Amino acid sequence: MEKDLSNYRKSYEKGELLKDSIPENPIELFRNWFIEVDTHFDVDETNAMTISTLGLDGYPKSRVVLLKKYTYEGFIFYTNYNSEKGKAIESNPNVCLSFFWHAAERQVIIKGKAEKIPENLSDGYFESRPRGSQLGAVVSNQSEVVKNRSELETKLKDLESRYEGKEIERPKHWGGYIVKPIEVEFWQGRPNRLHDRIRYRLQDDFNWTIDRLAP
């Protein structure tokens, strides 16, 4: 099978990104962009991001997760620590996050190190989740092979009965990571493929250097 996609073309004309009009800290620019996209553009799940890790097999792997919080310190998401991504992070905490907001013609690419957040913070977030999501975290041995879907659904029904009327505790193998950025690139689509690319890089004194990159 073959399909030629060379004639797929789009002119990017929805914005600009100028170095003389951006904040000194990339988290502030991320916040501004996130609010703008979430408020003014038709984007499902603005907090959806791709995380790339280097697997134990030596291959990089990317998958979409949901950003649940961002602070000046970094970007927080939750997952099963025993999952494929959790094992990859334990082996090599250097990861890449990326957001692609197509309606705004914007990308954000974040390089950083992932580390587990304190258990009490994971407890607090777990308690805020819908009960079904709590049970799903308990029942799923994420990334492990299962015989069929019926096996998962049967386990879920058993857990629903076991925990009926009871509080569901957070599994110790499930919790949050924070990705602390060392480099953040903002990409704004522009006409004629002369896109705006602004890169922030963290220095030893914890200030950020800002560069414009060729598209």
Please pick, among 193, 197, 201, 212, the residue that the annotation labels catalytic: 193
State the DSSP code for 19: G
The stretches of 19-130 forming alpha helices (DSSP H) are 26-40, 84-91, 119-128
Q: What is the DSSP string of 139-180?
A: H--TTS--S-HHHHHHHHHHHHHHTTTSPPPPPTTEEEEEEE
Cβ 172 vs Cβ 86: under 8 Å: no
User: Among candidates 68, 69, 115, 62, which has minimal Cα distance to 84?
Assistant: 62
CA–CA distance, 59 with 144 (Å, rounded to integer): 18
CA–CA distance, 195 with 106 (Å, rounded to integer): 10
N-term to C-term CA, the chain: 32
CA–CA distance, 70 with 186 (Å, rounded to integer): 16
Q: Catalytic site residue 212?
A: no
In a 10 Å sphere around its CB, with 0-12 CB exposed, 13-18 middle and 19+ buried, how is residue 24 labelled?
exposed
Query: Which residues are known catalytic residues?
Result: 193
